Amino acid sequence: MIKTLNPNQRRLWQRLFGALLMMGLLWQSQSAATEFDYQEVQIDQLQAAMAADELQATQIVRHYYQQIAQHNRRGADLRAVNSLLPLEQALSLAQELDAERDAGEIRGPLHGIPVLLKDNIDTADGLANTAGSLLLKNHYPARDAFLVQRLREAGAIIIGKANLSEWANFRSTASSSGWSSVGGQTKNPFDTTRSTCGSSAGSAAAVSGNLIPLAVGTETDGSLVCPAAITGIVSLKPTVGLVSRSGIIPISHSQDTAGPMARTVRDAVYLMQAMLGPDSTDAASYQQPTDFTQHLQSDGLRGKRIGVVRDFMGYHSQLDARFEAQLEVLREAGAIVVDNVEFVNGRGWGGDEFTVLLHEFKTDMASYLAQHPSLPYRSLDDLIAANTANADTVMPFFGQELFTMAAARTEAQESEYQAAAKRAKEAAGPAGIDATLAAHDLDLLIAPTTAPAWKIDLINGDHYMGSASSAAAVAGYPHITVPMGFVQHLPVGLSFFAGAKTEGLLIEAAYGYEQASKARRAPALMPRQH
């Protein structure tokens, strides 16, 4: 019959036939998977179910689309996801990976696993890369970011983009973390009246709320570890350069990095491992021969000398009390806890860090825009003008003070910037983390990651109390946060950090602690009214 149709009719019939076929496949997939328990599911469990023919990647994809439909703009109304591939497109990717599995070809732990990306990472699959701003709602990159290429090669199914603090929280001094003009206000799955922190807000909320198994976020200072801690998940901020930054909307080449967000240390390591690889287009990129999964050791704390950084505490008494209780957990797992550690040379990098971020944001943003000639913007000044022209939609709650300060930087300030960058890196790294480790003969440092989630306040902005993120962020060193329990009904995290390229060491400690503490629990996903 199809041969008698004209070309337009034939295409219409083929699309209809394909849709009917897809509906049949979906019905079969869903009916076969109704008994599988996805709540808090781990990657190894999904892989085991697929290996045993209990699940297919198509079924897994379908489940997470349903979860997102149920709780992103309805139900808990998390506003965690900005965009999704058309379901048929995602299922087509899943079918290809199912066929590979049937043929005995398994790419690795991420084979057939759905992943969300923070909405500042380029993909060439028809998903816009917006940085959360309506100014970029029609920004469709022509190439995948390098880390996206690596994830696809590993068999991950990238299904969509997660909400974030607009422009990665570097637009205003009075922002509300997790708010963007594209996605609205991301909400904490444990209490939807409270913040997710930022800027990787949607990535954290989606993973914590079981809307997705894994997500990729990015950090300049705290944007991975803060939302992870506040939503009760794991995140690993790697050494700068371990994961390529090519194809990511930037703030600062000195501090920017992507990183994994997951509900367990093991799953975070699986995701990070899949992203690794040297990238010739990223000047900081380097080859890492280590398979980090080898560091997932249940006795990973045994014999490690761990310093308790007391000068990263004191801003929240209940947080400190929860942290104090973890010291015994560490000791019982074999760690040698060295208390009352303070940074031997103080923490004098804050002002210099701000200078570096402002200066590099202007130049790095211009470089990114130059790589995308279809965009109507070439500079930070162009973005400022567009924000002003569209203020009702992109700036209804707070302004663009950071944009303005960064745009005011000039070439005449280059030497000032270079000096600030050198001082900041030295103060946080060699004279900070490294010197403190050496002074006490330590392997790593710990502190509470950040305070419990504050109330969302679009009038006054964030109520940010303190964090352990800055030293590792400014130095470019790795930092892992793991759930350490709750302050009332709100999760909080324990931070592990050390010198450059010590991810393996930190993974051992973080995994050992996670196995000893088992502090993660799922949110109820019910909106709170107080």
Based on the residue annotation, tell me whether 199 is a catalytic residue of this protein: yes
At 110-127, the pLDDT tens digits run 999 999 999 999 999 999
Q: Is the pLDDT of residue 268 over 60?
A: yes
Cα angle 71-196-356, degrees, rounded to a multiple of 5:
135
The count of domains in the chain is 1
Residue 146 lies in a domain: yes
**What is the band of 527 on the pLDDT scale with cuts at 50, 70, 90?**
low
Residue 32 lies in a domain: no
- Tell me the C-alpha distance between 265 and 271, whole Å: 10
The size of the chain, in residues, is 530
At 452-470, the pLDDT tens digits run 999 999 999 999 999 999 9
**What is the band of 35 on the pLDDT scale with cuts at 50, 70, 90?**
confident
- Tell me the C-alpha distance between 464 and 32, whole Å: 46
Q: Is the pLDDT of residue 203 over 80?
A: yes
**What is the band of 289 on the pLDDT scale with cuts at 50, 70, 90?**
confident
**What is the band of 74 on the pLDDT scale with cuts at 50, 70, 90?**
very high
* Mean pLDDT within 43-50: 98
CATH, residue 149: 3.90.1300.10
At 291-322, the pLDDT tens digits run 999 999 999 999 999 999 999 999 999 999 99
DSSP category for residue 264: S
Residue 530 lies in a domain: no
235: tokens are 């995140």
Residue 31 lies in a domain: no
Residue 361 lies in a domain: yes
Based on the residue annotation, tell me whether 223 is a catalytic residue of this protein: yes
Q: What is the pLDDT of residue 7?
A: 38
Give which of 239, 223, 220 is closest to 231, Cα–Cα: 223
Q: Please tell me which residue in 29, 83, 118, 362 is annotated as part of the active site.
A: 118
Q: What is the pLDDT of residue 525?
A: 81
Q: What is the pLDDT of residue 472?
A: 98
Name the phi and psi angles at 167, rounded to 5: 55, 35
Does the pTM surpass 0.85? The reply is yes
Residue 239 lies in a domain: yes
Q: What is the pLDDT of residue 526?
A: 65
**What is the three-class DSSP state of 63?**
helix
Q: Is the pLDDT of residue 12 over 90?
A: no
In Å, how far are 120, 185, 239, 450, 469 from 222, measured between CA atoms? Answer: 16, 19, 14, 9, 5
**What is the band of 528 on the pLDDT scale with cuts at 50, 70, 90?**
low
Residue 20 lies in a domain: no
Q: What is the pLDDT of residue 25?
A: 42
179: tokens are 């708010």
Q: Is the pLDDT of residue 331 over 60?
A: yes
Residue 523 lies in a domain: no
* Mean pLDDT within 361-379: 98
Q: What is the pLDDT of residue 288?
A: 87
At 380-390, the pLDDT tens digits run 999 999 999 99
Based on the residue annotation, tell me whether 118 is a catalytic residue of this protein: yes
* Mean pLDDT within 199-208: 98
- Tell me the C-alpha distance between 401 and 393, whole Å: 17
* Mean pLDDT within 393-407: 98
What is the domain range of residue 358? 39-496+504-517
Asked whether 36 and 55 are in contact (CB, 8 A), the reply is yes
Radius of gyration of the chain (CA): 23
Q: Please tell me which residue in 83, 165, 223, 495 is annotated as part of the active site.
A: 223
Q: Please tell me which residue in 83, 165, 180, 199 is annotated as part of the active site.
A: 199
Name the phi and psi angles at 252, rounded to 5: -145, 120
Percent of the chain at pLDDT exceeding 70: 93
User: Could you tell me which residue, 117 or 4, shows the higher pLDDT?
Assistant: 117
Q: Is the pLDDT of residue 48 over 80?
A: yes
